A and B are shown apart, each in its own frame.
Chain A
C-alpha cells in the first residue's frame, strides 16, 4: 500500500467513526435527518461521476437507478421482511444488473443520444413501477420500520451511519477506479474513443464496467430511502431532481477527481437543506439556479478545477 492509500483508509475510518460518534453525542435528531439527505447525494454524485465524469457519458438516468434501489427495498421488505443490509446488497446487485443491461443497449450511442436514452430508461422503469400494484403502484406504499437496533437509539441515526458507510464505499471505489488501469482507460475513451480503441483500450468493456459500478452505487444510495421516509411513491423515487442534482453536484465540484463530486454534493446539499428551512419560498429554488449558473460560468471545471493546476502549467 502506498502512503496515500494508508492516509485515505485512515481518513475513511475516521469519517465513519466520527459519524457514528455524533449519533451518540448529539441528541437532537434534525442534523441526522438533514445529514442523511446530504450523504445520499454524495453517494449519488460520486456514482454519477464514475460514468459521467471519468468516461464522459452524461447519464440522466440517476433517478432510474435510485428508484430501482428504492423499490428493490420495498419489495424485499414487503415480501420477505428482509433486513436493511440485505435490502442494500440486493438493491446494489439489481442496480448493477440494470446498469449492465442499459449499458449493453445504449452505450453504442454517443453524446446527446446516450443521454436521451438514459432519460427514456427512467420513464420506462417509472411506468413499470406505477403499474405494479404489489409495491403500491401509483398510490405509493407505507413502509413500517422494524424496531431500532442497538446500539443506536433511533432508526434515523442508524440510517445516517449506514449512509456514511455507503459514502466511504462509493468514494473508495471511485478513487480506486481513478488511480487504476480502468480509470486511465475511461479517461482515454473520454478524450477520444476511436483513438483509445485503436490503442488497445477495451472501450465497450470498460464503459460497461463503469455503468455497472455506477448503477450499483446509485441503487444502493436509494435502498435505505423507504425506511427513511417510511413511505415510497414513484413520483418521489423517480424524481428527475435526483438526476439533475447528481449531475449538477458533479459538475460544480469537478468531474476529473473523486473529491469533486464530494465537494459539490456537500456544497449543494448543505445549501439546499439550509435554504429549505431558512428561505421558505420560491426564492430558494431561484437561488439554487443562480448558483448553478455562476459556477458554470466562473468555474467550468468545477471547484476542483480551481485548485488543481492545469497540466499545461506544470513544470516540465
Chain B
C-alpha cells in the first residue's frame, strides 16, 4: 500500500502548511469574536434554505432591538452582541451550532431559531444545560421535553386554540360540517390534527379530508372533490407554494355557496411577496396571522419599530412589510431586557422566574406565559382579507384589508359570509 504513495519532503511541507492554515484560522476568528465586556446572545437563524425569507426578517427585528438597547446603554451596562449562525433551515445543523454557542462562544443567553424543526433538537440541550430558551414561532415543541425555562414568543397559545378560533367563527356563522386539506409537513400536520380533534370534541362532522405531498402544484382535482363534499367550513393547512396553488384552483373552480369560512392554517399568505402576487385571490380567506396594522394592534413602541423596520428592510432586502415575524424578533429582545433588568444578572433561573411570573410589555402587546412556556392566552389572529386588489403591496399597510375577527380583545370586524361573497 505504501508503495503507491510518493512521499517527498515538499509534499509533507505542503501538507503541513495546509493543516496549519486550517487549524489556525478558527482561532483568528475567535479572537475577533472575543469582546469581554459585551453581553452575548447566541442563536441560529435560517439564512439559507426554505425558511430563509422568514428567518432574515425575524433577524432584522432582533437586530433593531439590539441597536435600540445599545443606544440606551446596553443591558446591565454591557453592550449587547448577537452571535448568529446559519442553520440552513435544517434540523441536522442546529445541535452543533448551539453546542458551539454555549461551549466555545460562551454566550450568556440563547434564543431559538425561526422554525419548529431546528428548535426541536435544541430544546433538550437547553434543558440539559439549564438555559433559558426564548422560542421563535416554533409550534408545540415543548410538550414532550417539558423544559421549564422555555418561553415562546409566538402568539399561538394552547395547542388547539387556533383551530378552536376558526371553528368558533364557522359555527357562529352556522357551519356544521368541515373539510380539512393539509400538506404533508410537520407544521401543517400538527395544525390539521388539532382541528380534527376539536371538531370531534364538538361533534362537527368531517366530510372531507385530504393530505397532499408538499411538492403538489396542481390542486384542481382536490378542489373539485372538496366542492363535491359540500362542506360548510374548509380548514386549509398549507405551505407557501401550495397556498398559492390552492387559491388559484379555488379561483377557477370555486368551492360552492355553502362554504361559510375558508382558510385557517395557510402559511405564506402572511408574507409580502405572496400577498402581492396573489392579490385579489386572497379576498374572503380567513386565516391565522400574528400581527396586522389594525388600530387594536399598536402598543407602546410598535409604530416606531415599523418606521425603523421599513427603512432597514429595503437595505437588508427582506420582507418590506415584515408583519408576520419581525416585531416578534424585537419582542424576544424585550422579554430578555425586562427579565435581565429585573434579575440584575444573567442568572438563568432568576430570568426564567421573572418571565414566568410577570406580565411582560412588548411591541406586540402584553405577554404572560403558561407553565409549558407557551402564551397563557392565545393572541393568534384570525383575520379576513377584504377588498384586496391586484399588484399593490402598499394596500396592505392600510386599515381594513385584513380585518381581525378573533381574539375578542383585538377584534376589528365581523366575519363576512359566505366565503364566495367577497370574491365576486
Contacts and interface: CB of A to CB of B under 8 A. Distances in A.
B51 to A, nearest CB: 11
A266 to B, nearest CB: 11
A273 B96 CA distance: 8
B124 interface: yes
Contacts of B121: 229-231
Contacts of B90: 236, 239, 241
Interface string A285-316: 10000000000000000000001110000000
B185 interface: yes
Main SS class of interface, B? helix
B100 A34 contact: yes
A270 B96 CA distance: 12
B96 A233 contact: no
Given A34-B96, A236-B91, A278-B29, A284 B86 contact: yes
Contacts of A145: 124
Contact of A236 (B117, B144, B185, B190): B117
Contacts of A241: 90
Nearest to A229: B121
Interface string B112-123: 000001001100
A235 interface: yes
B184 A130 contact: yes
B171 interface: no
B371 interface: no
Interface string A234-248: 011001010000000
A187 interface: no
B95 A228 contact: yes
A231 B124 CA distance: 10
How many chain B residues sit at the interface, stated as a range, is 35 or more
A131 B85 contact: no
Contacts of A12: none
A278 B105 CA distance: 12
B97 A276 contact: yes
A235 B190 contact: no
Given A139-B186, A233-B117, A277 B92 contact: no
A176 interface: no
Taking each of A28, A145, A270, which has the highest tally of chain B beta carbons within 10 Å of its own beta carbon? A28
B85 A276 contact: yes
B210 interface: no
Contacts of B183: 138
A273 B186 CA distance: 26
Contact of B47 (A28, A270, A280): A280
Contacts, number: 125
Contact of A235 (B99, B102, B117): B117
A287 to B, nearest CB: 12
Contacts of B124: 142, 144-145, 230
A277 B100 contact: yes
Contact of B120 (A28, A140, A284, A285): A140
Given A130-B184, A239-B90, A280 B85 contact: yes
A229 to B, nearest CB: 4
A270 B48 contact: no
Contacts of A29: 99, 102-103
A286 to B, nearest CB: 10
Contacts of B69: none
Contacts of A276: 85-86, 88, 93, 96-97
A277 B97 contact: yes
Q: Which residue, of B26, B100, B141, has the highest number of chain A Cβ atoms within 10 A?
A: B100
Nearest to B189: A139
A138 B26 CA distance: 38
B104 A30 contact: yes
Interface in B186-219: 186-190, 193, 211, 213
B33 to A, nearest CB: 10
A63 to B, nearest CB: 11
Q: Max chain B CB contacts within 10 Å: which of A228, A230, A274?
A: A230
Given A138-B211, A139-B193, A280-B85, 12 more contacts: A30-B102, A33-B100, A37-B96, A131-B184, A138-B189, A142-B120, A229-B121, A233-B186, A274-B26, A276-B85, A276-B97, A282-B86
9 contacts: A34-B96, A131-B211, A138-B186, A138-B188, A235-B186, A236-B90, A276-B97, A285-B48, A285-B88
